[in-house]
Amino acid sequence: MAMTKKIVIIGAGYAGILTAKKLAKRLRKYNDISITIIDKKPFHTMLTELHEVAANRVDEDSIRISLKKVFAGRKVEVKLDTVTSIDFNKQDVIGQYESYPYDYLVISAGSKPTFFGVQGAEEYSFPLWSYEDAIILRDHIHTIFRKASCEINEIERRRMLTFYVVGAGFTGVEMIGELAEYVPILCEKFDIERNDVTLVNVDGLSRPIPNLPQKLSEKVTNRLEKMGVKLQLKTTVSSIGSDYIELKTENKITKNTVGTVIWAAGIQSTDIVQSSASSLEIARGGRIQLDSFLRSTKAPNVFVAGDNMYYVPEGEEHPVPQMVENCEQSADVVAHNIVSAVTGKGEMEVYKPSFHGVMVSIGGRYGVAYVGLPKHFFSLPSFLAMFAKHFINIIYFIQVLGWNKVFSYVKHEFFTIRNCRSFVGGHFSNRTPSFLLVALRLWLGAVWLFEGVMKIVEGWFNTPKLTEFFGGANTWYNSILNAAVPTVADSVSSATVQNGAADAVGTVLINFNFLGLFKVIFVSGKALENSTLSDYAFRLDVPLMNWFTNHLILPYDNIQIIMQVFIVVAEIAIGLALIGGLFTTLCAAFSLVLQFMFVCTTGLYLGTFWMIFAGIAVLIGAGRTFGLDYYVLPSLKKHWKKLNIIRKLYFYND
C-alpha cells in the first residue's frame, strides 16, 4: 500500500489560501496526496481593507472569510492551531495542540508589525495588522469621541481628539485618509467642532508612498491636506507614552500631547519564520532566502509564498514586494512546482513575476493608481483608480470564495455603504424602504396575469397565432420605414404612409443600423404633433433572431403552439408569483427576459415600457416585504447551502 504524501501549508493569508486551493484543484484525482492548511484563526482576513473597518465604513464581517466555506467540498484539511516550531530534519510542524508531519512544506505565515525598537510604541500605540486590531481601533475611536463630547476642559478635549498615524506607506496613508473622512461624521454625531480634532501623519520618508511617482505622491499630499491632515515628513518617532508622542526632526526633538497613536510603520515576518533562522537562510526583515523555484536555499522541499519570501527576480535589483499581487503570483508558481515534485510530472517553473502597479485609496471617495505593464505604467484619475481597486478586489474574491464573496463585497462597498462613503457618492446605497415597492410588484404581477389570461381567451392554446402576431408588427413598422421621406440626415426621418383607404401618418425618429448586427427603430404611428405616449414604439431588429423566428418557429404550426403555450404559462406564472411575492428575483428577471424578447420581435409601445423599469425595481428582495419570500427563501437557503456541489461552487450568498 502506497504511503500518503503530505503537503502542509502554514498560514491562511493571501498566499496560503490560494496555494491550498490551487493544489487541491490540480491534485484532486490523487488519493495518495493530502493537503493540510494550518492557521490560528478559522477565517481569512482581508488585510488590505482593515482601515475601512477601523474607520467604520464597512462592517467587520466584510473583511472576514470563513476557511470552512473556502475549502468546502475540497480535499484540504483545515487545522486550527498555533505553530510553535518546525523540525526541518524530521520534517515535522509542531503546533500547540498536535504535530503535522510533511513531505512538502509551504511557509506563508504572513507578517507582523515591527516597532523598530521605539520606546513605548508596542505598549501605547494601536497597530493595524489584524482583524482584531481593526475592531479594537474602531471601538476606541468611537469611545474617544463619545468621552470627548462630555469633556469640559478644552485642553484635555483637544488632547483626546489628537490622532497620530505613524507611517506614510500604503497602510498609514489609507488609515489617515479613512480617519479624515470619518472625523466630520463623528463630529456631527457628538456635536464636536472639527477644529478641535487634530490629525497628523508622521514618517521619516521625504514624501508619502515613495512607491508612487513624485507627481502622484504630491496628489496624495494635497488630498490629505485638503481633508485636514498635517503631514510631518522627514520625522522619526523617538518614544510614545500614554498621552504623548516624542518626535525627532533633524536634530530637534519635540514632545506633543496625543490621545491616540496608530502604528502603521512597517512589518516583519512572524516569529515562527524568524525562529527558523538556524535551519534556513534568513534575509532582511526575517524573510526566507529562496531559489528561482521559490524553494528555500537550505531545504528543497520547503517552499515559501507571499510576505515571507526573499527573492530577487532575474534582472531586478530589489526583492519582490510584500503585496497581494506577489502573493497571488507566487502561490501559483509554488502550487505548480509542488505538483511537479510530488507527481513527477512536468517541469518546475521559474518565478518571473509581472506586477501591474499599485493603488491607494484615501477614504472611500478618492484614490490614486499607477498601473499598467512592466515599463509601460500610467496613472489613473481618481474615479478610475477607485474603480480599478474594487475590480481587482473582486477578481481576487472570485478566486477565493466565488459569487458568495463577490455579492457580499458589492453589498458592503456599494449597496449598504454608510454616509455615502464610496467613490460613486453613495448613489447605489439602499435608502428606499422596500415596502414602498409592494404596490408596484402587485401591479406588475396583475398586468402579467391579465396578459396571459387574455391570450388564453384569444385561443393561444389551440390555434397558431405567432405568424399574425409577428407579421402584423413587421408590416406596421415596414409601412412606416419604407415610405419614409427623410427630413433629417442619417437615421432621423419622418413619413406619411397610406393604409388602405384611410390615411395613416407615421413618424420615423430613429432608424439606425449598428454594423449589421442589429437595427434600432423608434417610430410613432402618427404625425409627431398628434402623437401620444401610446403611439410611440421601440424595437431592436436583430437579424439572427429574425432568422431563428422565420425559419425555426413560424413555418411549423406545432412549434408555434408550443411557443405560445410557453409564453402564456410564463406570463401567468410570473403574474401569480409576483402577486404572492414568491421567488421574486427569479420572476422579475424572467419578466425582463420576456420583455427583451418582445422588444426584439414585435417591439414595445412606450406605454408598456414601465414594465421593464418595474421589473428592474423589484429585482432584488421585493418579495421579502408582504410576500411569501419572507418565509420561503430563508428555509430554502438553509437547505441549499448544505448541498456539497453548492458549497464547492460557492453558489450561494450569506
Quick one: average pLDDT of 583-597?
Answer: 95
Q: What pLDDT digit, counting tens, does each position of 542-559 carry?
A: 999 999 999 999 999 999
Query: Which pLDDT score, from 0 to 100, does residue 505 have?
Result: 59
pLDDT at 379 over 50: yes
Quick one: average pLDDT of 383-389?
Answer: 94
Residue that is written with C-alpha cell 404596490 in the block:
439
Nearest-angstrom CA–CA distance, 134 and 173? 15
Query: Which pLDDT score, from 0 to 100, does residue 485 have?
Result: 43
466 class by beta-carbon count within 10 Å (0-12 exposed, 13-18 middle, 19+ buried): buried
pLDDT at 642 over 90: no
Return the minimum-mean-pLDDT range out of 13-17, 169-173, 234-238, 434-438: 434-438
Which residues are within 8 A (CB) of 381 and not within 5 positions of it... i.e. 6 or more apart? Answer: none
pLDDT at 491 over 50: no
Percent of the chain with pLDDT over 90: 80
- In the chain, where the domains are located: 5-111+269-355, 121-265, 435-476+536-624
Nearest-angstrom CA–CA distance, 509 and 342? 68
Percent of the chain with pLDDT over 70: 96
Quick one: average pLDDT of 177-182?
Answer: 98
Quick one: average pLDDT of 289-318?
Answer: 95
> Is 181 in contact with 364 (CB distance < 8 Å)?
yes
CA distance readout (Å), 349 to 28, 267, 337, 484: 21, 29, 6, 66
Q: Do domains 5-111+269-355 and 121-265 have the same CATH topology?
A: yes
Beta strand 229-232 pairing with 235-240: unpaired
> Is 217 in contact with 91 (CB distance < 8 Å)?
no
Strand arrangement, sheet containing 244-249 = 235-240, 244-249, 252-257
pLDDT tier at 482 (50, 70, 90 boundaries)? Answer: confident
Query: Which pLDDT score, from 0 to 100, does residue 492 have?
Result: 30
pLDDT at 504 over 70: no
Quick one: average pLDDT of 577-581?
Answer: 97
CATH number of 121-265: 3.50.50.100
Quick one: average pLDDT of 503-511?
Answer: 78
Query: Which pLDDT score, from 0 to 100, does residue 284 have?
Result: 87
Nearest-angstrom CA–CA distance, 175 and 278? 37
Query: Which pLDDT score, from 0 to 100, does residue 457 have?
Result: 96
272 three-state secondary structure: helix
Query: Which pLDDT score, from 0 to 100, does residue 2 have?
Result: 58
Residues pairing with 239 in the sheet = 119, 246
Quick one: average pLDDT of 332-353?
Answer: 96
CATH number of 5-111+269-355: 3.50.50.100
Quick one: average pLDDT of 597-613?
Answer: 93
pLDDT at 251 over 90: no
Q: What pLDDT digit, counting tens, does each position of 424-434 carry?
A: 988 888 877 88
Which residues are within 8 A (CB) of 523 and not within 5 positions of it... i.e. 6 or more apart? Answer: 477, 480, 481, 506, 507, 508, 509, 511, 536, 537
pLDDT at 488 over 80: no
Nearest-angstrom CA–CA distance, 527 and 354? 62
Widest distance between CA atoms in the chain: 102
Nearest-angstrom CA–CA distance, 20 and 521? 53
Q: What pLDDT digit, counting tens, does each position of 28-50 carry?
A: 999 999 999 999 999 999 999 99
Quick one: average pLDDT of 5-23?
Answer: 97
User: How far is CA 120 from its chain centroid?
Assistant: 38
Nearest-angstrom CA–CA distance, 473 and 457? 21
Return the minimum-mean-pLDDT range out of 343-357, 378-392, 431-445, 492-506: 492-506
pLDDT at 500 over 70: no
Strand arrangement, sheet containing 83-87 = 83-87, 92-95, 99-101
Return the minimum-mean-pLDDT range out of 184-188, 338-342, 416-420: 416-420
Query: Which pLDDT score, from 0 to 100, does residue 373 have?
Result: 86
Quick one: average pLDDT of 230-251?
Answer: 96
> Mean pLDDT of all residues in the chain?
92
Query: Which pLDDT score, from 0 to 100, does residue 512 have?
Result: 94
